[in-house]
Structure 1
């Protein structure tokens, strides 16, 4: 049986490694600039670099997450290697979005990754199912994500789950210097 659990601070190093593995698969390894510390702060809202931090402390959400309210806004589920509970087989990193039309939150899946040796065993589907359950349990109206147009294996899996491409929408992004320029106008 595949067991999906919430990520813990102890998982962050392996999750960061999987983010880099995913970037390599997506032909963009040079684009990952996030550090383990960045991921730790985003997920758990604590400044883990501070001298006061003891990794055995219980995690509190009253920390220094880089959000308007200081609380973590990014979440993650992981699956352990069935033969070695110290190793992760896969992960899903996600956050909430909001639909003004529906008047409810939704889940946005940022990264779904299952290591190659574990693919085809239902782990990706188990992570997706867990995220769908988050939506159902909280009365969220949607669950969405992006997929690269050349990633046919993933597209086929998503279609088999009932996902539909939103071809009428185009994604835009402002980042880097353009983001700074826009903010200063």
Structure 2
């Protein structure tokens, strides 16, 4: 497979079923299928009406083989926006051909064009192939930082404190 045949296109509202399908495939790979509660209606609202995140597809010979979902964050220390990569996914049969590298090149081009100060992502501790890939792309683990999460079911109790 020739990675020069890889192209990219931003998702449109008509692509919502495909976006959700890729999200579910990724969740299955990450052993987190039960955590997917996203629906087509919710994705339509968040991605296309409220524009909370962006999605582009990687296409091989005009067929979608993967996607990236990202949004802007902000660094007060840098005084600049960054890109946060929520999801990157390539279907299993296309892995190992340099397509992930091509997706990172595309993300880096977007970040550079938008004047972003950095690109950030999370990776599951057990996912060594992805960790190795991200390191090969120049990513550095932030070992001194711990991710903390407050889920939406806790918001009311925080407000009421």
Identify whether the pair has TM-score above 0.5, normalized to the shorter chain: yes
Gaps in structure 2 of 5+ consecutive residues = none
Secondary structure of the structure 1 residue equivalent to 2:126: coil
What is the correspondence of 1:1-185 to structure 2 with a 5 Å cutoff? Answer: 1=4, 2-45=6-49, 65=50, 72-82=51-61, 85=62, 87-185=63-161
Distance 1:41 1:100 in 2: 29
Q: Which runs of 5+ in 1 are unaligned?
A: 46-64, 66-71
**How many residues matched?**
157
Contact 1:77–1:127 under 8 Å retained in 2 = no
Deviation at 1:184, TM superposition (A): 2.7
Counterpart Cα distance in 2 of 1:181 and 1:88 = 42
**Aligned equivalent of 1:60:** none
Distance (Å, rounded) in 1 between the aligned partners of 2:140 and 2:31? 24
Q: Report which of the two structures shows the higher radius of gyration computed on alpha carbons.
A: 1
TM-aligned CA distance change 1:42 to 1:99, over 3 Å: same
Question: How far apart are the structure 2 equivalents of 1:130 and 1:157?
Answer: 16
Quote the offset at 1:135 in angstroms: 1.3
1:32 Cα deviation from its structure 2 partner: 0.4
Q: Which has the higher contact order (CA 8 A, sep 6+)?
A: 2
TM-score (norm: length of structure 2): 0.92
